[in-house]
């Protein structure tokens, strides 16, 4: 079985809380990688990825991802699968809810990677999001500010889905 990379900022308290739960649910064959110090060699060493991409600055990526983008743009991600989770706040940012998930998904697709782990928009209340594709979100949206209690069940069900989508052999 391939090892999955779980990449998020170790400094970001909420993304790290989510990663802890994902790690628990995944069980084994998962490496925790710090997005703050990420190199392209590290990034290219895997086939399957779970990325923690919260949204900041009214619909933008946090600094640590923004800083990795120029290096990432040089990479060929063909044959690799990516699942993205992102924290956001649907009440205070209803026009940019979890945009970061959509920004990262689009970049990965341009570079040849495949996005997995789409989820339903049902259960959220927002106006607009760059993460929406048809009726779905192209990743897992988590809202600590307004739907904190739903985080754990959402993570548990998403990890089940990802295991099926990456066909753990």
Ligand X SMILES: Cc1cc2nc3c(=O)[nH]c(=O)nc-3n(C[C@H](O)[C@H](O)[C@H](O)COP(=O)(O)O)c2cc1C
Q: Can you give the binding site for ligand X, defined by CB under 6 A?
A: 12-15, 54-59, 62, 87-89, 93, 96-99, 144-145
Q: Which is nearer to ligand X, 11 or 160 (CB)?
A: 11
Distance of alpha carbon 55 from alpha carbon 123, whole angstroms: 19
Query: Which residues are CB-neighbours of 42 under 8 A, at least 6 positions away?
Result: 5, 33
Least Cβ distance, residue 145 to ligand X (angstroms): 6
What are the backbone dihedrals phi and psi of residue 85, each rounded to the nearest 5 degrees, phi first? -110, 150
Residue nearest to ligand X (CB): 88
Q: Least distance to ligand X from the beta carbon of 9, Å? A: 7
Q: What are the residues facing 56 on neighbouring strands? A: 60
Instruction: Classify residue 123 as left (phi > 0), alpha (psi -120 to 50) or beta.
Output: left
* CB-nearer residue toward ligand X: 8 or 118: 8
Nearer CB in complex with ligand X: 62/117: 62
Q: How far is the CB of 49 from ligand X (least distance, A)?
A: 17
Residue 80 Cα distances to 23, 84, 111, 133, angstroms: 20, 13, 10, 20
Q: Which residue has tokens 């990379």?
A: 5
| Residues in Cβ contact with 59 at an 8 Å cutoff, skipping those fewer than 6 apart | 93, 95, 96, 99, 100, 130
Which CB atom, from 26 or from 94, has the smaller least distance to ligand X? 94
- Provide, rounded to whole angstroms, the least separation between the CB of residue 59 and ligand X: 4
Task: Specify the residue, 43 or 93, whose C-beta has the smaller distance to ligand X.
Answer: 93
Minimal distance in Å, beta carbon 78 to ligand X?
Answer: 29
């Amino acid at each position: 079985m391939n090892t999955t990379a779980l990449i998020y900022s170790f400094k970001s308290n909420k993304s790290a809380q989510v990663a802890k739960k994902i790690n628990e649910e995944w069980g084994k064959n998962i490496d925790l990688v710090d997005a703050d110090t990420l190199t392209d060699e590290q990034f290219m060493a895997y086939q399957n990825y779970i990325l923690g991409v919260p949204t900041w600055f009214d619909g933008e990526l946090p600094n640590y991802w923004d800083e990795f983008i120029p290096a990432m743009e040089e990479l060929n991600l063909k044959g690799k699968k990516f699942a993205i989770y992102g924290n956001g706040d649907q009440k205070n940012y209803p026009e940019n809810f979890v945009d970061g998930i959509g920004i990262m998904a689009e970049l990965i697709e341009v570079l040849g990677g495949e996005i997995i782990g789409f989820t339903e928009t049902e259960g959220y209340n927002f106006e607009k999001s760059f993460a929406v594709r048809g009726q779905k979100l192209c990743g897992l949206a988590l809202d600590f500010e307004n739907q904190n209690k739903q985080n754990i069940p959402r993570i548990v069900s998403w990890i089940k889905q990802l295991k099926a989508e990456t066909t753990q052999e």
